[in-house]
Structure 1
Amino acid sequence: MHITKQTIDQVDLRGKRVIIRVDFNVPLDDTLQITDDSRIRAALPTINHTVDEGGMVILCSHLGRPKGKPSPELSLAPVAKRLKRFLGKEVIFSPDCVGPKVKNLVSQLKPGDVLLLENLRFHPEEESNDEQFAAELASLGDVYINEAFGAAHRSHASTAGITKFIKTSAAGYLMKREVEYLEGAVEKPIRPFVAILGGAKVSGKIGVIENLGKKVDKVIIGGGMAFTFIKAMGLEIGRSMVEDDMLEFAKGIHQHALERGVKFYLPVDCVVAASLDPGAETKIVPTQEIPEGWYGMDIGPASVKLFSEAIQNAKTILWNGPMGMFERDAFARGTQAIAHAVANAYALTIVGGGDTALAVHRSGETDSMSFISTGGGAALQLLEGGEMPGLAALPDR
């Protein structure tokens, strides 16, 4: 599968001021230390290529949700520090992303220099895709590279608006890989193609379930959303999470899958807790025997065995969403076991960002996956077959 958009390799960067929209929306702890820098590392090939080609790098990104005003705890300053370590060279940090100070810093750049602008979302105009703000950003450079797959499903000034005001735009290496892997898996999968879908809600994955349901050979459902399917089959689910308005949809999806010959797997047992308190009593029960008043929190060992068997002969595996409340150790086993099973399969394995990427990271299986998406919401939108404003705004080859 080849991306149809113009990419960084087709653009002359020598001596040019190159604005690279990156996704440095990294998690920070209470002391403002970065707890996972994989998004920074993912952008390094594009940054290094621009430096090697003699371009002047102007990086811009958002971080968190500052609601359109400066907020010191969401500054990109810690990112500048980490980036400097990765690049082994000075990273100039700008206290803002537009305005005379920034223009002055840009005017002093020499080929190979790297400048990181402060958080774009400190300005409300970024998220409202304000034309004037987009034009002001564009005026800083000669070339625009979109490397922020994680924000490509948003129509913001720095992802979509900016392309109207700059002569040359293209996709970066990470953007290219994301699109090729995710679109390729869905459009031309090597079969058997297995989709593992988890997470809390069916409603958040309607489009993905519908789009993938037509293309996969097997669907495995876990996480909180499994209880909506289980209840739709007429079983008691205690106080487990359920979306009552999704029961008919779940029933229909299950039915359509069976009619099309798609193998459909639901948990056969689960770990239940007497309450949501961290120290509550837990036990493993078959899904037919969830006690009244108890909460389903994870898939059980029999489900792990069943799902692992179903994954074994797969040639393409797409996984989006954890199997339970993996943030708590007591309910992390199901997700970890599936991470190991996916890692051990002789298959092209694609992990759809967000929580799933974090779960894989915690299971120590990051290096065993073929591809881990950097964008949770963006990956979902692409898998639904939806329009990606940040991608659509780039010119075709």
Structure 2
Amino acid sequence: MSFRKIDDISDIAGKRALVRVDFNVPMADGKVSDATRLERALPTIRDLVSRSAKVILLSHFGRPKGARVPEMSLAPVAEALRSLLDCEVHFAEDCIGDAAKIAVSTMRGGEVLLLENTRFHAGEEANDPAFAQELAENGDLYINDAFSAAHRAHASTEGVAHLLPAAAGRAMERELDYLAAALSAPERPMMAVVGGAKVSTKLDVLTNLIDKADYLVVGGGMANTFLLALGRTIGKSLAEPDLVAKAQEIIEKAKANACEILLPQDVVVATEFVAGAKSNAKSADDVAATEMILDLGPASVDQIAEKMERCKTLVWNGPLGAFETEPFHVATVEAARFAGKLARAGKLVAVAGGGDTVAALNQAGVADDFTYISTAGGAFLEWMEGKSLPGVEALRK
């Protein structure tokens, strides 16, 4: 897609740059415990600072539902950002009104100001035009660097973009470029790996990917519903019998679209789901009534690796098994390490996203080997579903 970027905006010096970031970060004992989202915003902030813009940061934090909740103040985040930027980060106790206006009016070019939680106002999530206008009054231009919030049509993610000259920040630009390379115009063959517990949460993803992927790997608990659709017995395994017909429909549609669905050939089973449970691998045709499927077997992993080696592009969302609990992490870890090896060698563009996926790749020790890992959560999932994201659409040229 063609969207406006920071480089498309000239004469930034001295301008008030209203920058939407996602500083909804984990906290422990009143301090930021994981600064990943702050770090991803640094290139945009530093770029604007170097060009003498007045950098005014907007973000939500938590779910205060339009009320001022002290525990959800962004004040501690300003302190963490100061240490990362190694410069002063001013803080305003509101994102609109006198507190914000006074703080903005005293800024000089190259300074950074973090405004208080946008969700302290009900107008934020309602995308209220009046609230969006109040936000816009503190800026001369708008930069959206929060892809992770771009699936929400809120005042600070979508409304303001129509009131000021708007562009994507560096992190947003990078995310959109990689997702476009992986889904919109992938180099083929292309493989999609979709895992997770339930088919119901990934129906739109599966349906969209059938039209895009050459190989579609279905793993995790959701694969059990597909095994039921093929007439297999799955014992006590997690499944959604009411979605068997939908799984059959997806299988047939994949055949019609020349998309090869890779379902488990063999599985790892146990009679109880606990860490260190006694388990064994067996054919997916041979699951006993007392057993539950908790991971893919070695033959299935080999099949995935063999097909993956033919591919130029990989998109991954969701684990292949119950990876949080050993020994049911093996398939996810081995497949991830193989993907990481191919990506590191430049043979594969490997893009992954989703909370469980990122955790699994970190567990496998290959997060740095993947071409790109999205931490966007819901926005990444909606992108995989083929949905338009309001915060992105507002940046189109």
Structure 2 residue 276 is matched with structure 1 residue 286: no
Q: Distance in 1 between matches of 2:357 and 2:172?
A: 19
TM-aligned CA deviation for residue 281 of structure 1: 5.0
- What runs of 5+ residues in structure 2 fail to find an aligned partner? none
Q: What is the distance in 2 between the residues matched to 1:65 and 1:119?
A: 10
User: Aligned equivalents of 1:341 and 1:185: distance in 2?
Assistant: 18
Which stretch shifts more, 305-314 or 216-225? 305-314
Instruction: State which of 126, 129, 141 in structure 2 corresponds to 1:128.
Output: 126
Q: Percent identity?
A: 44
Residues 302, 17 of structure 1: alpha-carbon distance in 2 compared, 3 angstrom cutoff: same
Q: Please show how residues 1-397 of structure 1 align to structure 2 within 5 Å.
A: 3-12=1-10, 13-29=12-28, 31-166=29-164, 168-276=165-273, 281-345=278-342, 346-396=347-397
- Tell me, in whole angstroms, the C-alpha distance in 2 between the residues paired with 1:100 and 1:273: 62
What is the CA–CA distance in structure 1 between the aligned matches of 2:130 and 2:292, rounded to whole Å? 51
Name the TM-score, length of structure 1 as normaliser: 0.91
Aligned mates of 1:33, 1:363 — CA distance in 2: 28
Q: Relative to structure 2, which stretch is displaced further, 226-235 or 114-123?
A: 114-123
In structure 2, relative to structure 1, the CA distance for the partners of 1:231 and 1:32 (3 Å cut) is farther
State whether residues 183 and 382 of structure 1, in contact with CA within 8 Å, keep that contact through their aligned partners in structure 2: no
Deviation at 1:24, TM superposition (A): 1.9
> Aligned in 2, Cα 1:73/1:391: closer, same or farther, shift over 3 Å?
same
TM-aligned CA deviation for residue 224 of structure 1? 1.7
Q: How far did residue 100 of structure 1 move? A: 1.6
Gaps of 5+ in 1: none
Which is worse superposed, 106-115 or 374-383?
A: 374-383
Q: Tell me the secondary structure at the aligned position of residue 66 of structure 1.
A: coil
Provide the alpha-carbon RMSD of the alignment. Answer: 2.1
The one-letter code of the counterpart of 1:231 is L
**Contact 2:265–2:283 (CA<8 Å) still a contact in 1?**
yes
Supply the distance in 2 between the matched residues of 1:223 and 1:96 (Cα, whole angstroms): 44
Q: Alpha carbons of 1:131 and 1:225: their partners in 2 closer, same or farther (altered >3 Å)?
A: same
Question: 1:54 Cα deviation (Å)?
Answer: 0.4
- The 3-state SS of whatever aligns with 2:192 is strand
Q: Distance in 2 between matches of 1:258 and 1:296?
A: 26
SS at match of 1:144: strand
Alpha-carbon spacing, 1:332–1:69, altered in 2? closer, same or farther (3 Å)? farther
Please state how far the C-alpha of 1:380 moved relative to its aligned partner: 2.3
Q: 1:182 to 1:143 in 2, by over 3 A?
A: same
Paired AA for residue 341 in structure 2:
N
TM superposition shift of 1:384 = 2.6
Task: Return closer, same or farther for 1:259/1:5 CA change in 2, 3 Å cut-off.
Answer: closer
Matched letter for residue 332 of structure 2? T
> Higher mean Cα deviation, 71-80 or 338-347?
71-80
Could you tell me how far apart the structure 1 residues matched to 2:266 and 2:143 are? 48
Aligned mates of 2:372, 2:158 — CA distance in 1: 26
What secondary structure sits across from 1:318 in the alignment?
strand
Secondary structure of the corresponding residue to residue 196 of structure 1: strand
Give CA deviations for 1:51-85 in whole Å, capped at 9, x if unaligned: 00100111111223333333344333343233222
- TM-score of the superposed pair, with normalisation by structure 2: 0.91
Once residues 365 and 17 of structure 1 are traced to their aligned partners in structure 2, the CA distance between those partners, rounded to angstroms, is 40
Q: Read off the aligned partner of 1:366 and give its amino acid letter.
A: A
Equivalent pair of 1:169/1:395 in contact (CA under 8 Å) = no
Cα distance change of structure 1 residues 75 and 334 upon mapping to structure 2, 3 Å threshold: farther
- CA-CA distance at 1:175 after TM superposition: 1.5
Q: CA separation in 1, counterparts of 2:250 and 2:396?
A: 37
* Aligned residue pair count: 392
Residue 276 of structure 1: how far off its partner (Å): 4.5
60-69 or 227-236: bigger deviation:
60-69
Q: What secondary structure does 1:97 align onto? A: coil
Residue 149 of structure 1 aligns with an amino acid whose one-letter code is F
Query: CA separation in 1, counterparts of 2:159 and 2:388?
Result: 15
Question: Which amino acid in structure 1 is aligned with residue 96 of structure 2?
Answer: V
- TM-fit CA distance, 1:156: 0.6
Note the C-alpha offset of 1:219.
Answer: 1.0
Cα offset for 1:273?
4.1
Does the 8 Å contact 1:126/1:156 carry over to 2? Answer: yes
Kindly tell me: are residues 370 and 276 of structure 1, through their superposed partners in 2, closer, same or farther at Cα, counting changes over 3 Å? Answer: same
Cα deviation, residue 315, structure 1: 0.8
Rounded to whole Å, the distance in 2 between the matches of 1:361 and 1:309 is 23
In 2, distance between residues paired with 1:88 and 1:127?
A: 32
Q: Displacement, 1:316?
A: 0.6
Change (3 A) 1:154 1:286: same
Q: Which deviates the most, 98-107 or 343-352? A: 98-107
